[in-house]
A and B are shown apart, each in its own frame.
Chain A
């Protein structure tokens, strides 16, 4: 009897330490992610930021707002699709109305007429749909030129891209597609300026700050902006309660990791290439800046 209790205890202890090691972070690919983060930062500092700042400098505010509205409106179709996939029917009607009004009266989306009519924009994408369907969030990933993602949102973004007309601009001709894709990227970077400045000011470790705020932001979108009081208790709770929650998270994490493990292996291989690319940028930097 004593032996059995002892064995159970040891097994339990092993399990605890195993879980503790696994759940220490939701970021098992941290070293890969950190190199990607540095790579993206370099690309941003030497290519994206100067272009976006130039755009902000020479373009009047009303044109910037128009460009933002145009690309923002194109996301509307995807929002409606995901509203339907999540069975949010009244919201899908409102979002469809929003898209229709802006595409017609709003001159192809350049003017956000729907906002003035009181049709608030909802933020839905396929990653949130997968969350509603019960797919766990999975590990954190930073992809080259794309930025923060999770094991779930990376494949989900393929759906979102497919449901965005801006992605098909390449069909008519490259001289139309290239400027549209380029403007889309410049617009995205110009709008991120405020957030990036805040990270620079507030973060003690920019990588961790970005990761944590990204994961929390995604969780918050999943919950449609509702802050759960019980999650707040977790932060303050003693180790024991937190451990029980962690055990659930860790199980979810394991399931997702397994389902996307082949993708992860490819990423692991890709690391080398990007680390090399990064060091080349470093060399360029030293030569030219």
Chain B
């Protein structure tokens, strides 16, 4: 009897322990999300030449998708125009925009020259976001400040915006995308994005 009780307690305790370990794995903090992404990015840079553009793209696709909220970013960059798009157009935009984001990483972070990322601090915004302040150290050059804005998504956090040396990627893209949508229309925007992806792949 005594033994049986002990067995049950042990079983309960071990199942509790397992579930808590699982929970810890699932809920990465905003800081961890950024840290993991930067580590993966530097790793890709180190293997950059060997991997080639396609290799870098394939490695970065899961890394970017699992750390950035690409569908949300695609929605924000077109501002109010999002509501005017059909469901099919919204899907198309999210799709090509995601490809462009990964392609631009694969193109711009292609080789390694001793660069390293370091997280400096984090700050909560009034509306429940988190800003992670970090910088990229480049040998024999000025460091570049990278500030990441993250929002909670489900049980975890996702990057919504990157501000490099004070220039917000999201604000910049939003000005461009909304202007092109209003001036030239949806198809033209998609064509332009696809051109950019092709150019990144070529170089």
Task: Give the most central of B80, B126, B193: most A CB within 10 Å.
Answer: B126
Contact A225 B161, beta carbon cutoff 8 Å = no
- A203 at interface, CB cutoff 8 A: yes
- A2 at interface, CB cutoff 8 A: no
- B92 at interface, CB cutoff 8 A: no
Contact B131 A203, beta carbon cutoff 8 Å = no
Given contacts A225-B145, A227-B133, contact A209 B176 (CB under 8 A): yes
Interface size band for B: 35 or more
Given contacts A202-B104, A203-B176, A220-B165, contact A237 B127 (CB under 8 A): yes
Tell me the complex Cα distance, A208–B77, Å. Answer: 14
**B145 smallest CB distance to A (angstroms):** 6
Which residue of A203, A211, A229, A237 is within 8 Å of B124 (Cβ)? A229
Contact B176 A236, beta carbon cutoff 8 Å = no
- A282 at interface, CB cutoff 8 A: no
Which residue of B123, B170, B203 is within 8 Å of A235 (Cβ)? B170
A208-227 interface with B by 8 A CB criterion: 208-209, 211-213, 216-217, 219-221, 223, 225, 227
Given contacts A216-B168, A220-B166, A232-B131, contact A205 B176 (CB under 8 A): yes
Contact B126 A212, beta carbon cutoff 8 Å = no
Residues of chain B within 8 A (CB-CB) of A211 are: 175
Which residue of B76, B107, B179, B193 is within 8 Å of A205 (Cβ)? B179
**B44 smallest CB distance to A (angstroms):** 18
- Closest residue of A by beta carbon distance from B128: A233
Residues of chain A within 8 A (CB-CB) of B160 are: 236
B79-93 interface with A by 8 A CB criterion: 80
- Closest residue of A by beta carbon distance from B183: A205
Residues of chain A within 8 A (CB-CB) of B196 are: 201-202, 204
- B15 at interface, CB cutoff 8 A: no
Which residue of B147, B166, B192, B200 is within 8 Å of A216 (Cβ)? B166
Residues of chain B within 8 A (CB-CB) of A223 are: 166
Tell me the complex Cα distance, A208–B203, Å. Answer: 24
Contact A230 B147, beta carbon cutoff 8 Å = no
Which residue of B76, B177, B200, B203 is within 8 Å of A236 (Cβ)? B76
Contact B161 A235, beta carbon cutoff 8 Å = yes
Contact A204 B176, beta carbon cutoff 8 Å = yes
Binding site for A on B (CB under 8 A): 76, 80, 104, 107, 123-127, 129, 131, 133, 145, 147, 149, 151, 160-161, 163, 165-168, 170-172, 174-177, 179-180, 189, 192-193, 196, 199-200, 203
Q: Beyond A201-B200, A216-B166, list 13 extra A-B contacts (CB 8 Å).
A: A201-B196, A202-B104, A203-B176, A211-B175, A212-B167, A212-B176, A213-B172, A225-B165, A230-B125, A232-B125, A235-B149, A237-B127, A239-B80
